[in-house]
Structure 1
Amino acid sequence: MAVACGITVANIYYAQPLLSEIARTFDVSQADIGVVAMLTQIGYAMGMLFLLPLGDIRERRSLIVLMLFVAAAALIMMSASFNIGILFFAAFAVGFTSIIPQLIVPFAAQLALPSERGKIIGNVMSGLLIGILLSRTFSGIIGTAFGWRTVYIIAAIMMMILAAALKALLPVSLPSSKVAYKKLLGSLWGLLKTEPILREASISGAMLFAAFSVFWTTLVFLLESSVYNLGAQTAGLFGLVGVTGALAASLVGRVADKKSPRFTLGMAIVICIISYVCFLLLGFKLWGLIIGVILLDLGTQAGQVSNQARIFALNPEARNRINTVFMVSYFIGGSTGSIVGAYSWSHFGWIGVCVTGILFDTIALISHFGLRKKLCMYLGKN
């Protein structure tokens, strides 16, 4: 499950180290090409909103295999895009169809013992975040050597291979609910209103991922600037640095089991803020960027593991829908971070990028510590 999460989630992030090359292909600006990263993440959020709840009323293994084939088709369309309009549509489609990890994570939580749920989620999420990070390494190296279109062709082939493997290896998982699809979608708002922990996790998760996306969307622009004079391949290699943080996910899950997920979430937000302070003060030094990447990926991963450990303990029968609410919020935050990050770079440079990241993380900190009870009461009344 961890390997499958890593391979499929990579689809959403292949574009980030390649944005400059894609911009040159279609003769658009760096600010405009940031829309590709934004649309992919919006597509992912919309895919989760409309497709992920099906995990509660459909057999999961068959649903996962079907989505893998559909994702392969979207990736082929991305590789064949011949104008900017088709590219934007394909970017959205890649995100919309690549929701497989969010079907797998609740599946893993369902199979885990309650006393080990944090650890199991941490293990699976390690695979997911390693996939996110290594996707940039893969696309940076392959894109530099063979062109950005080749990255998506290879990704489509991997989806089809993975579909065959999961069909053979995953157990059958019968649906936990018989609710009609329309009623299933309608219940999402009810869950958001009645579960204060879900509301809090959705806000903090969205802001943490927004800050994460701000950095990874703009890193290639910094590396190609006169400060470094590097390119997509180097931007991709930074994914290897971030694996250090990803590998800590299972440890975070164990701490969450022993203490509380809320405790580890608070630590995660603080670590993310420190990472951006490091980028702001030391971002023009390579070693400073490396330290910041390790901290940012560690904090983001710890935050997501902590939040999902909290929400998966709420209502076993609605686990996919709860994950839908959380992850839609999460990727709306990520898509916002992508476009705001590109805008900040174009108008304010690296300092603007760092200030934007700090602001997003600060909102997460305020929602977690300062305004938690008031915010939850207000949202509950409205």
Structure 2
Amino acid sequence: MTDLSTPQLAQTPHVLTRGLVLLFAFCCGAIVANLYYAQPIVELIAPSVGLSAHSASMIVSLTQIGYAVGLLLLVPLADLLENRKLMIGTAIIASVGLLAAGLTSQPNLFLALSLLIGFSSVSVQMLIPLAAHLAPEESRGRVVGNIMSGLLLGVLLARPISSLVADHFGWRMVFVAASLLMLAIIVVIALTIPTRQPAHKATYGQLMGSLLTLLRTQPVLRQRALYQGLFFASFSLFWTAAPIELTRQHGLSQTQIAIFALVGAIGALAAPLAGRLADAGHTRRASIVAMIIASLAFLLSCSGPGYSVIGLALTGIFLDFAVQMNMVLGQRAVYALDPASRARLNALYMTSIFIGGAIGSALASPLYEAAGWLVIAMAGAALPAAALVALLWFGRQR
């Protein structure tokens, strides 16, 4: 039996060139965008497929739950099976799920497909550990940060692209076009991404059992997962509720909401900066700064009469910046724990994050319908503040 904790890595002759880093970044952004296309257009999708206003945010929440389940059950296989074939297989399922979502009119089927889309979009979290394997130790944080910029641009650009397409061609075209994009990504992965066959020889049961061992023995993993889970709950809460607030209280069209969401893409600039700070040993201090920025950002959304669009936009920019910074800081710390277990470490880290995101999305519609934007802002500010308290507590314990 192979000891899954032993750092056995399959050797690869490939060098991580700048062009390959850009390619990884593009693929990550295009795949992760599947999770966010529905976020700004739930108000259009829900009545079309027969969902109530209170249930609309379940579309986003189930997509994130599916992603969390895929992270837990599929991503660890990247430490066992050949990576490129695994990524192609999951991408094919994602393409089929997106196309079916664009064609259905049944509420339960649409929710099930949302779950499937999230579940099958996890190949992005196989690409990032692969890049970490190929990158030299001294520049790993910078490489991961640059690739995360592509992923985070996918997260942030998915919303404005979705709003624009829905405004001009209908919401169904968003999913059909995303399906076609996934087919193109499959071709790119097949032709350009290097193969990697892990050296581990174990059963799937042994692989999954090792997850519990990693979670039990790696306090840094548990702590960084908690911080980012709270961050992502705040992030998802804001970006699921903000389009509803902009539509109902400010009368913005889908195209105008797209411009609003595009402004938030400025936050992706945090990823390369965070990678460099992590490489320089400033993870803790940079994390504290990110948590303070995220919490205070929500005050801006409550400024001015009627909670101005400008205040909401500033909240989006600073919140995105802080979330992306803390994400990269956490990944750099987690990847350094055990090179042979990076896919499984990443799976555990990202699963907790998207559980937080799913909770934030699920709370958005009920909280907004019950109490309006002020409660959304209060809850959003409290989550990163809780992360800061946890970080200070763990530091004091050490």
TM-score grouping bracket, smaller chain normalisation: over 0.9
Q: Residues 177, 237 of structure 1: CA spacing in aligned structure 2 closer, same or farther, 3 A cutoff?
A: farther
Equivalent in the alignment of 1:77: 100
- Which among 330, 347, 354 is matched to residue 331 of structure 1? 354
Q: Is the aligned partner of 1:140 residue 2:163?
A: yes
Determine the structure 1 residue equivalent to 2:310.
287
Contact 1:312/1:319 (CA < 8 Å) preserved in 2? yes
In 1, distance between residues paired with 2:105 and 2:51? 14
TM-superposed deviation, 1:287: 1.8
Task: Report whether the alignment pairs 1:167 with 2:175.
Answer: no
1:66 and 2:93 correspond: no
**1:27, distance to aligned residue in structure 2 (A):** 4.0
Q: State the Cα deviation string for residues 32-72 of structure 1 (Å, max 9, x = none).
A: 11111110000000011110000001111111112111110
The answer to which of 136-145 and 282-291 deviates more is 282-291
Structure 2 distance, partners of 1:28, 1:159, is 27
Q: Show the counterpart of 1:380.
A: none
* 1:265 maps to which of 279, 284, 287: 287
Indicate the SS of the match to 1:281: coil
Q: Equivalent residues in 2 for 1:185-200 (5 A)?
A: 185-200=208-223
What are the ranges of 5 or more consecutive residues in structure 2 without an aligned counterpart?
1-23
Three-state SS of the structure 2 residue aligned to 1:58 is: coil
**Alignment length (residue pairs):** 374
Other-structure match for 2:387: 364
- TM-score normalised according to structure 2 size: 0.91
Q: Which moved more, 1:107-116 or 1:36-45?
A: 107-116
Alpha-carbon distance between aligned partners in 2 of 1:278 and 1:18, rounded to the nearest angstrom = 24
Higher alpha-carbon deviation: 169-178 or 117-126: 169-178
Task: Flag the 1:195–1:373 CA change in 2: closer, same or farther, 3 A.
Answer: farther
Matched, 1:247 2:269: yes
1:234 to 251, 256, 270: 256
Aligned to 1:39: 62
- What does the per-residue CA deviation read over 1:172-194, in whole Å, with 9 as the maximum and x for residues that have no partner? 11214222111111111111110
Deviation at 1:373, TM superposition (A): 5.7
Listed one character per residue, the Cα deviations across residues 222-254 of structure 1 (whole Å, up to 9, x for unaligned) are 0111x3111333222223212211023112211
Moved more, 141-150 or 37-46: 141-150
Equivalent in 170, 178, 203 of residue 226 of structure 2: 203
Between Structure 1 and Structure 2, the one with more helix by share is 1
Cα distance in 2, alignment partners of residues 195 and 246 from structure 1: 28
Query: How far apart in 1 are the matches of 2:381 and 2:82?
Result: 42
User: After alignment, is 145-154 or 229-238 more displaced?
Assistant: 229-238
Q: Distance in 1 between matches of 2:50 and 2:107?
A: 9
Identity of aligned residues (%): 35
Q: CA deviation at 1:29?
A: 2.8
2:302 and 2:133 map into 1 onto residues whose CA distance is 41
Q: Note the alpha carbon deviations across 1:299-349, whole angstroms, 9 max, x for none.
A: 000010000000000001111000111111000000000011222101110
Q: Do 2:246 and 2:309's aligned partners in 1 also have CA atoms closer than 8 Å?
A: no
CA distance in 2, matches of 1:32, 1:48: 25
> Contact between 1:136 and 1:237, CA under 8 Å: does it hold in 2?
no
Counterpart Cα distance in 2 of 1:368 and 1:146 = 46
2:74 corresponds in structure 1 to 51
| Within-5 A mapping of 1:87-106 | 87-106=110-129
Tell me the equivalent position of 1:304.
327
Q: 1:318 aligns with which of 316, 341, 366?
A: 341
1:379 maps to: none
Change (3 A) 1:209 1:320: same
> Which string of whole-angstrom CA distances, capped at 9 and with x for unpartnered residues, describes residues 10-43 of structure 1?
0000001110001221343322111111100000
Paired amino acid for 1:343: P
Residues of 2 paired with 1:3 and 1:176: CA distance? Answer: 28
- CA contact 2:273–2:325 (8 Å) conserved in 1: no
Structure-2 change in CA distance of 1:263 and 1:179 (3 Å): farther
Contact 1:60 1:172 in 2 (8 A): yes
The residue aligned with 2:146 is 123
Specify every segment of 5 or more residues in structure 1 that has no aligned partner in the other structure, as ranges.
Answer: 377-382
Deviations 1:172-224 (A, max 9, x none): 11214222111111111111110000000110010000000000001111011
Matched position secondary structure for 1:32: coil
Q: 1:154 to 1:189 in 2, by over 3 A?
A: same
* Native 8 Å contact 2:301 2:308 kept in 1: no
Match of 2:207 in 1: 184
The residue aligned with 2:374 is 351
